[in-house]
Amino acid sequence: MNAFLVSLLIVALSEMGDKTQLLTLLLAARFRKPVPILIAIFLATVVNHGVSAILGQWITTVLSPDVLLWIVALGFIGMSIWMLIPDKLDDESGSINRWQKYGVFGATFVLFFLAEIGDKTQVATIALAARFDSVMWVTLGTTIGIMLVNAPAVFIGNKMAEKLPISLIHKIGAAVFFVMGVGALVQHYFF
């Protein structure tokens, strides 16, 4: 259960103001069909983060525990720095137009899945799965974290995004990542 809660918290904080949240706002404004958008985001996230969690677990089988500890700890510390760099959404309207022929669900699924590749939340999922021994709980936690942030974005749109203190949320997320990275090292070497 700890893997689920930590994964949910980390990814929800990471997703605030992230390019995939901005993409969600664009998709909601373009299509104005919240249900297929939400289903597509959910399924794209389950697939993307499920594969990422499996990769994170696999990494634990090929690396020694000490090497893995340093990679995960430095990964979390690196994520804390990455959280402080604001995301920008490149011209996604052209991509939306290109995929629009597949309908609301198809366009949302493909665009969200592709946007998640190499994204902070995907990297966090890999690291979390390497840290915790549960593909299922990490995938479930990260997916629900994504949905907690993106579902309101679909329904409320830009009004919600403008009122949230995104900078503060990123700083809190960065602090959580930093504490997890340093905490992993301290726990291993001192306890």
> What per-residue confidence (pLDDT) applies to 167?
66
What 8-state DSSP symbol labels residue 164?
S
> What per-residue confidence (pLDDT) applies to 115?
83
> What per-residue confidence (pLDDT) applies to 88?
58
> What per-residue confidence (pLDDT) applies to 169?
61
Identify which of 10-14, 34-38, 83-87 has the greatest average pLDDT. Answer: 34-38
Q: What are phi and psi of 33, to 5 degrees?
A: -135, 90
Q: Is the pLDDT of residue 94 over 60?
A: no
pLDDT in tens, 161-190: 456 565 666 677 677 768 877 877 887 777
Rounded to 10°, the helix 34-62/120-131 angle is 50
Share of the chain above pLDDT 70, in %: 83
Distance from C-alpha of 190 to C-alpha of 188, rounded to nearest angstrom: 6
Q: Is the pLDDT of residue 40 over 60?
A: yes
Residue with tokens 């919600």: 160
Choose between 58 and 21: higher pLDDT: 58
> What per-residue confidence (pLDDT) applies to 27?
80
C-alpha dist (Å) from residue 98 to 85, 93, 163, 172 = 29, 9, 31, 36
Domain limits, the chain: 2-190
The encoded tokens of residue 84 equal: 């402080």
> What per-residue confidence (pLDDT) applies to 23?
79
Q: Is the pLDDT of residue 42 over 90?
A: yes
pLDDT in tens, 105-138: 998 998 889 888 878 888 889 989 988 989 999 9
Distance from C-alpha of 74 to C-alpha of 123, rounded to nearest angstrom: 12
Distance from C-alpha of 81 to C-alpha of 178, rounded to nearest angstrom: 8
Q: What spatial distance separates the first Cα and last Cα of the chain, rounded to whole Å? A: 22
Q: To 5 degrees, how large is the angle CA 25–CA 26–CA 29? A: 85
Among candidate residues 16, 8, 18, the one with its CA nearest the CA of residue 164 = 16
